[in-house]
Amino acid sequence: MPPSSGSSATIHLTGWGAVSPAGWSATALADAVLADSPLPHTSERRVPEAPERMFRRVPPMPATPDWMKQPRLRRTTAAARHAVHAAVQALGESHLEAVRSSGRRIGTIFCTMSGCVQFSRRFYAEVLANPLLASPILFPETVYNAPASHVSSLLGSPEMNYTLVGDSAQFLAGLDLAAQWLDDGLVDACLVIAAEELDWISDEALLLFAPQAVSAEGAAAVLLEKGGTSPSTDSAITLRAVTEAFTYGQERDRPQAATAVRRALERHRAPGTVLCDGSNPQALASDGTRTRGDTTEQQLWQDWDAPSYGVRPVLGEGFAITSGWQTVLACELLQRGLASQAFISAVGLTQQAVGAVLQGPAPIPSQP
């Protein structure tokens, strides 16, 4: 269907899911963040000369669900498995068959920063050893959009499917794109997903910028629908706003971009608003100062006088999943009645700063 001009009908987040070092659910993620204690991590050197990397793995899956047993998913990367699990949680596992047979047009927007690094690293090692023996099983799964493809396949959805490569703020820009697709009538519902997987190649890259940082893996997913299009939108969480993606460059530095985000978010300030930000006081650089991005975000919200919650100190550096986890956390806080509105602030590692505002099912109290 050709797009119509943006009508900006109300858009709701009707489902969400997460895979993280806290476990295979959004509930586990929120419980861990609310406990406000960093999860245990592992330290390891791949060879004695290499830097010691610290990471938090996703715990083993309790049991393999039947829907994971289809042949397409047998040899997927960890990032793809994380992505499809978070997506199915967001849709509702019990609804999966109904989704597949409903004919609803479900779009997919997948966000990642590192992509499927495990297979990429393994495949390139094989190429260097002997290109004629490099495995054709590995190579197709190295492309950035492999996880997104598996999600569409699982849903049986031939609809729009984009993979967006970006930094830790990319998930919020993905929410904005989903809202565009819904506004324009291109899809009936849209999944926004982010996923990453651990590998020494990306973990050691992180240490170059933040020597005390702990890498993490997993996924986050939300399902967006227009108001009134399904029963689940009636008492759902509302996407009130996504700011512009303020890109860094010669014309705008990171602090300026961060300030622009805060200014845009503050227009929506109301009693009962909490902050889900991306700063990480524990990610200290080797000289004892905070890493560049964290300093910016820390300073941005230092005068915030309402409750705030951060996923990074508890879960670790999730790259493109980070703002996805923040979004899932905000959904959980709103659903549990711990807030009536949530600001999500994402001052990305290298590309952009973006913010979003989610509103809970309960009405926002009027300004005093």
Partner 1 sequence: MPYPSSPAPGAPFRVVVTGVGIITSMGIGWRQNADGFREGRQALRPITLFDASSQRVQQAGEVIFDQPLPQTRLGRRQLARLDRASRLLIHAGAEAFTQSGWQATADAGSTIAEDIPIVLGTSAGAMAVGESYYRQKVETPGEAHTLPHKVVLYQPHTQAQFLADALGVQGPVTMISNACASGANAIGHAFRLIKTGRASRAIAGGYDALAQMVFAGFDSLQALSTTSPRPFDAQRDGLALGEGAAVFTLERYEDAVSRGANILAEVTGYGAATDLHHLTQPHPQGDAALISMTRACAEATVEPKQVQYINSHGTGTPLNDVAEGMAIQRWAGPHTPGIMVSSTKGAIGHLLGGAGAVEAAICVIALSEGFVPPNAPVSTPDPVCTFDLVCEPRQAQLDCVLTNSFGFGGANATLVLQHPTSRA
Token pair belonging to 6: 């943006």
- Tell which positions 245-264 bind partner 1, by CB under 8 A: 245-252, 264
- Tell which positions 90-149 bind partner 1, by CB under 8 A: 108, 113, 120-121, 123-125, 127-128, 130-132, 134-136, 139-146, 148-149
Question: Closest Cα partner for 90 from 16, 14, 171?
Answer: 16
- Tell which positions 349-368 bind partner 1, by CB under 8 A: 350-352
By CB under 8 A, name the one of 27, 59, 162, 308 that touches partner 1.
162
By CB under 8 A, name the one of 158, 271, 281, 337 that touches partner 1.
158
Q: Are 313 and 291 in contact (CB under 8 A)?
A: no
Token pair belonging to 228: 């009134």
CA–CA gap between residue 182 and residue 226 (Å, rounded): 7
- Tell which positions 282-341 bind partner 1, by CB under 8 A: none
**Quick one: 49 or 305, whose CB is closer to partner 1?**
49
Please report how close the Cβ of residue 177 comes to partner 1 at its closest, in angstroms. Answer: 8
Q: Does 163 bind partner 1 (CB under 8 A)?
A: yes
By CB under 8 A, name the one of 68, 205, 284, 338 that touches partner 1.
205
**Neighbour tally for 285: CB within 10 Å:** 16
**Quick one: 30 or 225, whose CB is closer to partner 1?**
225
**CB burial class (10 A; 0-12, 13-18, 19+) of residue 273?**
buried
Please report how close the Cβ of residue 74 comes to partner 1 at its closest, in angstroms. Answer: 12
Please report how close the Cβ of residue 1 comes to partner 1 at its closest, in angstroms. Answer: 8
Q: Are 326 and 18 in contact (CB under 8 A)?
A: no
CA–CA gap between residue 330 and residue 30 (Å, rounded): 9
Token look-up 């509105």 returns 341
Please report how close the Cβ of residue 46 comes to partner 1 at its closest, in angstroms. Answer: 7
**Quick one: 90 or 113, whose CB is closer to partner 1?**
113
Q: Are 202 and 168 in contact (CB under 8 A)?
A: no
